[in-house]
Structure 1
Amino acid sequence: MGATKPEEAGPDEAGFEEMVAAFRAREQQLLHDKDQMKEKFAKLLLGEDMSGGGTGVSSALALSNAITNLAASVFGEQSRLEPMSPERKARWRKEMNWLLSVTDHIVELVASHQKNKDGSDMEIMVTKQRKDLLMNIPALRTLDRMLIDCLDAFKDQTEFYYLSKDAPDSERRRRDDKWWLPTVKVPQDGLSEAARRNLQVQKECVTQVLKAAMAINAQLLSEMDIPESYIESLPKNGRASLGDSIYKSITDEFFDPDHFLASMDLSSDHKILDLKNRVEASIVIWKRKMNHKDSKSWGSGVSIEKRELFEERVETILHLIKHRFPGLPQSSLDITKIEYNKDVGQAVLESYSRILESLAHTVLSRIEDVSQADFLTQGQADSNPVKEDIRPVSPRNDSESTNGMTLSDLLTWGADQNESEEQTETVAEAPRENDQRHLQKLNMLINVTHRFN
């Protein structure tokens, strides 16, 4: 009898082997992720002090720094209007899930009802995620996904492109304020109508994300305690903080905040930030004096009504500064609050909303670059539509300042003045399913957050 040939593996056996190989690869990946997570949380527990000497920062600040550093390493400058690579996107989602998992264990006791076997009801206390985290974490995750989806919307576009570093200097020439960014190029006759519609819809979506992130971040910072170290560094009165000329303008009988800002030198971020620091310091000084009812520090000739009026004016100025210059660095007060904050939940929410605000502002700037290149190609005057979208038309009073506004107010704020007849017609002609889905998500976010507020 001849020798029999070994039986070849059947299709079922081959499929089983592939399944086992995939399972083992997945197991190895999970083990690798576990080791990475252990290393990251070990650093957090040590407060970034790897020597173990106990000189590290607080857990809240360590977690805040971890989220900030992760965003910086993943997004960087985001110098181009293009989707994130799959590797960066996967890393962002994975490591953010690790850092946000801490908030699952920040809970509070709430009353609940339990039904006994005999049918009677009994009130018991159960643990539930803290209310501010329960409300804001899902909202921030939604804003996060919407921003990444907006970048993904430019995946298949072929109309505008960026010049390489090897391009001639004459072609790579940019405005002085953005000399480090790559130059964007559009066709000689400008973008097509479809590309302009997509650019407009994405700009509106990102603008709303920016407003939502700003609202959440402003609310969180307002809830943080002012550290004693900041209070001790303040001058004795608001006039010394503002300076004689600014103080005179604010306390004048006729005061117009738009005219006041127009008269100030706001030609650089440094000068704008200096004004913001002065205004915030004066607000803290005057509020403390109002609370302590220290009439001597104001002078005998200043009535309570005048004090409230001056405080309202500086609040209005601060409100305008924040919304006319959303990409501004953090003020001294904000930095001090974050540094001395001990609440881990607030630290997570503040850092998450801050990096989303920064990313949204960056994406808007990249959209602005493409729009300006298109305008210049068509021979139109240079304009700045992105900044106008997030700029208030009229000053708000103290009751409508950032700290007093709900997320729903901020998301819908300025919608009327931004919707010209031409924009309305343009949006109506762009029934893209993905864009409509984004707007529906945003409306749902507004409604849910409004109920919590």
Structure 2
Amino acid sequence: MLDYSIDEELSMSKRQGWTLLRNSSAVKCQAMPPLAPSNWPERGSKPKLSSKDHNAANDKEALDPIDIEMEQMKERFAMLLLGEDMTGGGKGVSSALALSNAITNLASSVFGEQWRLEPMSPERKTRWQKEIDLLLSVTDYIVELVPSQQKSKDGTNMEIMVTRQRNNLRSNIPALRKLDAMLIECLDNFKDQNEFYYEARGADDSEKGNNKKKLPTVIVPPNGLSEASRKFLQYQKDCVNQVLKAAMGINAQIISEMEMPEDYIESLPRNGRVSLGDSIYRSITVEFFDPDQFLSSMDLTSDNKILDLKNRIEASIVIWKRKMNQKDGKSTWGPAVSLEKREIFEERAETILLILKHRFPGVPQSSLDVSKIQLNRDVGHAVLESYSRTLESLAFTVMSRIEDVLHADSLTQNQFRTTSRRKPMNETPPAKSPRRREDALNNGPETPTSMTLLDFMGWGQKQSETEAKKDSSKQSDDQNTDVATK
């Protein structure tokens, strides 16, 4: 190897564009970046743009909000794919549960404070429609293969398999969108109403340190709502009630299609009697069963007690179904309980559960439903369940607000009727003057204008006639006696 001096090495590196680095053992070469051409602008100076380039820059600036929205969408989907764990450590939930939580959180932030019967603000409405469309777009790619006919070039028909959106998504997504639009339209219908308003929460309540949110008080006119407003409210309530029933039906159907979690099955007791308790079990297994009478005997004064009853009944239904599906037929029921009786008991429990769900729609979900949702891996089921559940919750909230107004109107009407009935009793007759009172006392019996109760009923006139007849007969008798003496 030839030895070069330091100056020769530097001159060589400048000519060839290489930098020679010396190590203790050998010499290593590293490529230098090419020098910038002389016609390039200096670093830190802005290039001069022509009119064409200037218009292109303005178009790019105009697309900046769209680019920002696209970045937010990418970040949202990345968080869903990672299961809400942006660290990538594998501690996130499943994609189905992440998507379900996203829809639930969106509905909670948009509809969480629907305390009044008033239209949604344009910002909230736009946000809801945009973000729910974004989350529902995932279902467009959940497809199934179905047979289809295709005609070839020579005219022959052949059967091929094509992709189509899954059947339950294709039927339920448009239905849920229709229910969504009906609820928003119902709120928009209250834009022009002016017969009732809301009294905001007072400053005294906030100063007391009570952090519990309080609903605003409904104020109606003193004599109640008009008949037209009352009919309008009742019509809106009926429409929202139909939406509530439809959303509840879809939600119950989707949850029933989800797989039963093994963890939930392992946590169940051995038989339905242990799950229900002796008193409830005896009430359900009687010969003549009335579900309304059974519910009237139960304590349903709080949501926790209703939820506890739902959990017990649902667990017993699962236990009885599994026992009936066992091939060997062995169970702890004993030889006296037949398969027909088990089916009857299961039908009774399902009837009670259905009545509880429709009578108390605002009660939280049961342990079985929560377990199914958390351990579900089907993205399509997760979207349908969460979307229907949010619409069910919104419909229940809107119907509760309508019932608040109708209740306030009923109280006001009852108070108005009570006041109108008491008003004539409180009125006192005008006082008579002393002169009129003396005249009445002095001339009362002789004046023809004074009438007694007997005169009013016609008895006084008959009595006077009889007395006149008696007087005339007496006079005639006296005359006869006088003539006889003479």
So what's the TM-score if we normalise by structure 2?
0.70
Residue among 249, 264, 271 paired with 1:237: 271
Partners of 1:22 and 1:212 lie apart in 2 by 50
3-state secondary structure, aligned to 1:146: helix
Residue among 76, 93, 97 paired with 1:40: 76
Q: Which amino acid aligns with 1:140?
A: L
3-state secondary structure, aligned to 1:298: coil
The match for 2:219 is 185
The 1:21/1:74 distance shift into structure 2, 3 A limit, reads farther
Residue among 252, 267, 286 paired with 1:218: 252
The match for 1:400 is none
Residue among 373, 392, 412 paired with 1:377: 412
Partners of 2:334 and 2:223 lie apart in 1 by 66
The match for 1:283 is 317
Residue among 138, 147, 158 paired with 1:111: 147
3-state secondary structure, aligned to 2:235: helix
Query: Equivalences for 1:49-448 in 2 at 5 Å?
Result: 49-166=85-202, 180-293=214-327, 294-379=329-414
Q: Which amino acid aligns with 2:275?
A: S
Between stretches 255-264 and 183-192, larger displacement belongs to: 183-192
The C-alpha deviation readout for 1:339-397, integer Å capped at 9, x for no partner, is: 0110000000000000000000000000000111111111179xxxxxxxxxxxxxxxx
Q: Which amino acid aligns with 2:371?
A: T
The C-alpha deviation readout for 1:116-139, integer Å capped at 9, x for no partner, is: 233222221111000000000000
Q: Which amino acid aligns with 1:152?
A: D
The C-alpha deviation readout for 1:252-280, integer Å capped at 9, x for no partner, is: 12211110000000000000000000000
Q: How much has 1:168 moved relative to structure 2?
A: 7.4
Q: How much has 1:143 moved relative to structure 2?
A: 0.4
Q: How much has 1:244 moved relative to structure 2?
A: 0.7
Q: Which amino acid aligns with 1:51?
A: T
Q: How much has 1:114 moved relative to structure 2?
A: 1.7
Partners of 1:26 and 1:110 lie apart in 2 by 44
Partners of 2:305 and 2:342 lie apart in 1 by 27
Q: How much has 1:315 moved relative to structure 2?
A: 1.1
The 1:312/1:87 distance shift into structure 2, 3 A limit, reads same
Q: Which amino acid aligns with 2:354?
A: H
RMSD: 2.2
Q: Which amino acid aligns with 1:207?
A: N
Q: Which amino acid aligns with 1:291?
A: N
Q: Which amino acid aligns with 1:288?
A: R
Q: How much has 1:42 moved relative to structure 2?
A: 1.1
The unaligned stretches of length 5 or more in structure 1 are 1-19, 173-177, 382-453
Partners of 2:233 and 2:87 lie apart in 1 by 50
Partners of 2:69 and 2:120 lie apart in 1 by 21
So what's the TM-score if we normalise by structure 1?
0.75
Q: How much has 1:92 moved relative to structure 2?
A: 0.4
The 1:162/1:302 distance shift into structure 2, 3 A limit, reads same
Partners of 1:121 and 1:380 lie apart in 2 by 78
Partners of 1:25 and 1:207 lie apart in 2 by 48
3-state secondary structure, aligned to 2:91: coil
Partners of 2:331 and 2:187 lie apart in 1 by 56
Query: Equivalences for 1:12-51 in 2 at 5 Å?
Result: 27-51=63-87
Q: Which of 1 and 2 has higher RCO (CA within 8 Å, sep 6+)?
A: 1
The unaligned stretches of length 5 or more in structure 2 are 1-55, 207-211, 417-486
The C-alpha deviation readout for 1:213-240, integer Å capped at 9, x for no partner, is: 0000000011111100000111111000
Partners of 2:253 and 2:108 lie apart in 1 by 23
